């Protein structure tokens, strides 16, 4: 079997890239779906969920690198002609799906990688590549944007894979031709009629790409508006206090698979009563009210605010009261 493509057949390198890419995609998809569906009500459940997400991300990066190498190889090769160039609709759909696959194979794992790089510490990538990327800030809005792209284009990739499989089955079951066999090892070349590859499928794919990015942008904006509205709805009113807090931070740190993730509550108030003279050992008291929904905790913010943890919708505020006591030195 020759390594390079010919006008009538795919070479060994192309076939290897094809099946390796298929294996990685068909592994990453179920890992992500299973991880998304797992509960996270206990520490053990959250650890299992994070472990599966780590595997999903690790396989996804491998899929991205293989897809990139596959596309670069394809650019250097002649593309074999289709077996039925006279069937214009079928040829158009086949090339359209290939264009959708090529772009989605890059956009889906890359957007997931960028989302991971913009968040703090949850479900680390297992490759020794580090958890961040150059020029990608740790930013919730940036992470939300890439998450929206990842969400939209996973659907496009999934649809493209299903259409690709459906087309292959049609050629095997209905047409009974050598289309699928051309991608299998050890198959002889088949006679084809050379036909030019038109630009219409590529242009149609570009329109779909644009619609996908527009949808992701709209989704990210919607999530941002909902988060802003939620934060506004739970914004705490100022409280009367003898002493005013001029600066301060209320933080929370969790340990996930050996990674410490620190977040903070953006909205809280403090009512402080203090006297230099102690009465029965008390110098006064402090009452701190925290808007639970104002928490930002990297990529696990939604989980932390959800059921089994803070349950911010049911418990929108948390209250801390304490007496101010003299220390050991008085």
Q: 76 with 220, same domain?
A: yes
Whether 237 maps to a domain, the answer reads no
Query: What is the dihedral sign for C-alpha 307, 248, 143, 130?
Result: negative
Q: 203 with 313, same domain?
A: no
Q: 147 with 265, same domain?
A: no
Q: 222 with 267, same domain?
A: no
pLDDT over 60 (residue 228) = no
pTM of the model: 0.78
Look at residue 153 in the predicted model and tell me its pLDDT: 97
Q: 24 with 155, same domain?
A: yes
Q: How far is CA 185 from CA 180, 231, 263, in A?
A: 11, 58, 53
Q: How many CB atoms lie within 10 A of CB 62?
A: 18
Residue 277: CATH number of its domain: 2.40.128.110
pLDDT digit string, tens, across residues 32-75: 999 988 887 777 887 888 899 999 999 999 999 999 999 999 99
* Residue range(s) defining the domain that contains residue 207: 12-231
Burial of 121 (0-12, 13-18, 19+ CB in 10 A): buried
- End-to-end, the C-alpha distance of the chain in Å comes to 87
Span 187-191, average pLDDT: 69
pLDDT digit string, tens, across residues 98-151: 999 999 999 999 999 999 999 876 788 998 888 889 999 988 889 889 999 999
Q: 78 with 207, same domain?
A: yes
Least confident of 181-195, 245-259, 301-315: 181-195
Q: Among 164, 22, 143, which residue's Cα sits nearest to residue 93?
A: 164
Query: Two tokens at 292?
Result: 């639970």
Q: 76 with 218, same domain?
A: yes
Q: 177 with 83, same domain?
A: yes
Counting the structural domains of the chain, the total is 2
User: pLDDT tier at 238 (50, 70, 90 boundaries)?
Assistant: confident
The per-residue b/e assignment along 97-114, b for 16 or more CB within 10 angstroms, e otherwise, is bbbbbbbbbbbbbbbbbb
132: left (phi over 0), alpha (psi -120 to 50) or beta: beta
Between CA 71 and CA 66 the distance in angstroms is 9
pLDDT digit string, tens, across residues 113-125: 999 999 876 788 9
Whether 240 maps to a domain, the answer reads no
Q: 255 with 122, same domain?
A: no
Q: 222 with 313, same domain?
A: no
Q: 139 with 205, same domain?
A: yes
């Amino acid at each position: 079997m020759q390594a390079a493509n010919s006008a009538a057949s795919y070479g060994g390198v192309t076939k290897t890239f094809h099946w390796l890419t298929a294996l990685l995609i068909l592994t990453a998809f179920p890992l992500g779906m299973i991880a998304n569906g797992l509960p996270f009500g206990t520490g053990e459940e959250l650890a299992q969920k994070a472990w599966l997400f780590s595997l999903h991300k690790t396989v996804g990066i491998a899929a991205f690198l293989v897809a990139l190498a596959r596309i670069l190889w394809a650019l250097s090769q002649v593309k074999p002609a289709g077996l039925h160039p006279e069937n214009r609709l079928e040829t158009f759909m086949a090339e359209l799906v290939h264009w959708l696959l090529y772009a989605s194979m890059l956009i889906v794992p890359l957007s997931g990688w960028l989302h991971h790089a913009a968040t703090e510490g949850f479900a680390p990538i297992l490759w020794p590549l580090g958890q961040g990327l150059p020029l990608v800030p740790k930013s919730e809005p940036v992470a939300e944007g890439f998450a929206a792209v990842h969400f939209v284009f996973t659907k496009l990739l999934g649809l493209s894979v299903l259409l690709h499989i459906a087309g292959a089955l049609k050629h095997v079951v209905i047409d009974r031709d050598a289309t699928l066999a051309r991608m299998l090892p050890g198959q002889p070349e088949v006679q084809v009629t050379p036909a030019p590859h038109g630009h219409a499928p590529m242009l149609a794919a570009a329109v779909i790409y644009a619609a996908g990015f527009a949808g992701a942008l709209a989704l990210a904006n919607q999530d941002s508006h909902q988060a802003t509205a939620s934060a506004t709805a739970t914004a705490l009113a100022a409280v009367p206090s003898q002493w005013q807090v001029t600066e301060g931070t209320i933080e929370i740190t969790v340990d996930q698979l050996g990674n410490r993730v620190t977040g903070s509550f953006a909205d809280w108030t403090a009512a402080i009563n203090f006297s230099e003279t102690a009465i029965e050992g008390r110098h006064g008291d402090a009452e701190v009210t925290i808007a639970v929904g104002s928490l930002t905790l990297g990529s696990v913010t939604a989980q932390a605010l959800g059921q089994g943890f803070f349950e911010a919708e049911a418990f929108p505020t948390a209250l801390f009261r304490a007496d101010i006591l003299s220390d050991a030195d008085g």
